[in-house]
Structure 1
Amino acid sequence: MSGTLALASAIASMDQESLAYLVRQRRPQSASNVSDPIGLATELLRADSIARILAPLNRWQLARLLALSEADGSTVQHDDAVTDELKRLGLVGTHNSVPKALPEVTASLLGGLEAAKITPDTLGAATNAIAPRGPKPDTHAWYSAALTAVGEGSETLRTLHNHPGRLNRSGSVAVATVRALSELTSVEPAETSLILAALDRAKLLWPEPSKQRLSLSPKAQTWLSLSCGERWLVLAQTTLNAIPRPLRAALETADSDLTAAAAMLPTMFPLLPDTRRQEAEDFVATTDHLGLTVQGALSEPAKFLLADDLDTVREILTAELPPPAPGIYVQPDLSIVVPGPLDPAMRRISRHFRDRSTSVLQQPGGSLKFH
Structure 2
Amino acid sequence: MSRTGAMTTTLALASRLRAMRDDDLLAGLHARSYRRAGVSDFFDLAEALLDADAVQEALLRLDRIELAALVALGRADVPLGPGAVAETLRGHAATAEVPRERVEAAVALLTDRLLVQPADEGAPGDAAVAPYDAVIARLEAWEAGGLPSPDALLDTAPPDPDPAADATREAGDRAAGDRLAAERAFEAVTAVSELLAELSREGARELQKGGLALPAAKRLAEALAVDQAAVPVVMSVASRAGLIAIEDAAWLPTEGARGWLRGATPERWQRLADAWLATLPGDVRTLLEAHAADRWGAALREHAAWLHPGSPREAQQRLDARLRDALWLGLATTDAAPGGPTGAARTAPSRDLTPSTPGTALLRDGSDAARAALAPLFPGEVDRVYLQHDLTIVSPGPLAPAIESRLRGMADIESRALASTFRLSPASVDRALTAGETAEGIRAFLTEISLTGLPQPIEYVITDAADRHGRVRVRDATGDGVRSAVRSPDATLLRTIEVDQSLAALRLVRSGESLVSRFARDVVFWALADARYPVLAEDAAGRPVPLRRNRVAHPRPASGRDQDAELIARLREHGSAGGDDAGEWLARQLDQAVRARQTVVVQVAMPDGRTLDLVLEPTGVGGGRLRGRDRTADVERTVPLSSVRGVRPAD
What band does the TM-score fall into relative to the shorter chain? 0.7 to 0.9
Counterparts of residues 304-323 of structure 1 (less than 5 Å): 304-307=361-364, 309-323=366-380
Of 70, 74, 85, the residue aligned with 1:78 is 85
Task: After TM superposition, give the deviation of residue 44 of structure 1 in Å.
Answer: 3.8
Alpha-carbon distance in structure 2 between the residues aligned to 1:367 and 1:29 = 59
Matches within 5 A, 1:1-371: 3-7=9-13, 22=28, 25-26=31-32, 41-42=46-47, 44-73=49-78, 77-78=84-85, 81=104, 82-95=106-119, 98-124=128-154, 125-131=156-162, 135=168, 138=174, 139-141=177-179, 142-208=181-247, 211-257=248-294, 258-259=296-297, 260-272=299-311, 274-295=313-334, 296-307=353-364, 309-329=366-386, 337-351=394-408, 354-355=411-412, 358-360=414-416, 362=417, 366-368=418-420
Contact 1:246-1:269 at 8 Å conserved across structures: no
Looking at structure 1, the residues matched to 60 and 289 of structure 2 have their Cα atoms a distance apart, in angstroms, of 19
TM-aligned CA distance change 1:292 to 1:51, over 3 Å: farther
Change in CA separation of 1:100 and 1:72 when aligned onto 2, cut-off 3 Å: farther
- Secondary structure of 2:157's counterpart equals coil
Contact residue 166 and residue 212 of structure 1 kept, 8 A: yes
Preserved CA contact (<8 Å) 2:147 2:309:
no
SS at match of 1:206: strand
Q: Residues 8-43 of structure 1: CA distance to partner in whole angstroms, max 9, x if unpaired?
A: 677789899976764554487759x7987x676555
Q: TM-score, normalised by structure 2?
A: 0.48
In the TM superposition, what is the alpha-carbon distance from 1:182 to its structure 2 partner? Answer: 0.9
SS of match in other structure, 1:281: helix
1:107-160: per-residue Cα shift (whole Å, max 9, x none)? Answer: 333444543442431222321421459845735232211110000111111111
In terms of Rg, which structure is larger?
Answer: 2
CA contact (8 A) 1:171 1:212 kept: no
Paired residue type of 2:211: S
How many positions carry a matched residue from both structures?
Answer: 363
C-alpha contact 2:292 2:355 (8 A) present in aligned 1: no
Shift of 1:49: 4.2
Q: Which runs of 5+ in 2 are unaligned?
A: 1-6, 87-102, 121-126, 335-352, 424-651
Amino acid at match of 1:341: P
Higher helix share: 1
2:80, 2:257 → 1: CA distance? 58
Q: What percent identity do the matched residue pairs reach?
A: 28
Range with greater deviation from structure 2 (86-95 or 3-12) = 3-12
Question: Cα gap change, 1:265/1:227 in structure 2, threshold over 3 Å: closer, same or farther?
Answer: same
**Partner deviation per Cα, 1:143-188 (whole Å, 9 max, x = no partner):** 2111100001111111112222111112432232111111123222
Alpha-carbon displacement from aligned partner over 1:211-252 (angstroms, at most 9, x marks no partner): 432222222222211211121122111122221222223224
Q: After TM superposition, give the deviation of residue 339 of structure 1 in Å.
A: 3.8
Post-superposition offset of 1:290: 1.1
Tell me: CA distance 1:95–1:369, structure 2 relative to 1, closer, same or farther (3 Å).
same
Partner of 2:649: none
Change (3 A) 1:188 1:226: same
Distance change >3 Å, CA 113–CA 132, structure 1 → 2: farther
Structure with bigger strand share is 2
- Classify the secondary structure of the residue corresponding to 2:85: coil
Give the Cα–Cα distance (whole angstroms) in 2 for the partners of residues 48 and 329 of structure 1.
68
Deviation at 1:264, TM superposition (A): 1.6
* Alignment CA distance shift 1:359-1:368 (3 Å): closer
CA distance in 1, matches of 2:303, 2:392: 49
* Partners of 2:382 and 2:400 within 8 A in 1: yes
Provide the secondary structure at the position in 2 that maps to 1:123: helix
d(CA) in 2 for partners of 1:35, 1:118: 35
CA distance in 1, matches of 2:249, 2:109: 42
Where 1:215 maps in the other structure, the secondary structure is strand
Q: Any conservation in 1 of the 2:8–2:130 contact (CA below 8 Å)?
A: no
Partner amino acid, structure 1, of 2:65: W
Q: Which has the higher contact order (CA 8 A, sep 6+)?
A: 1
One-letter code of the match for 2:281? Answer: P
Answer yes or no: is the 8 Å Cα contact 1:185–1:359 preserved in 2. Answer: no
More off after superposition, 228-237 vs 251-260: 251-260
How far apart, CA to CA, are the structure 2 residues paired with 1:221 and 1:284? Answer: 28
CA–CA distance in structure 2, aligned partners of residues 320 and 59 of structure 1: 41
After superposition, the Cα gap between the structure-2 partners of 1:189 and 1:162, relative to the gap in structure 1 and judged at 3 Å, is same
- Cα distance 1:226–1:42, how it changes in 2: closer, same or farther (>3 A)? farther
- Cα 1:73–1:252 change in 2 (3 A) is farther
Amino acid across the alignment from 2:237:
A
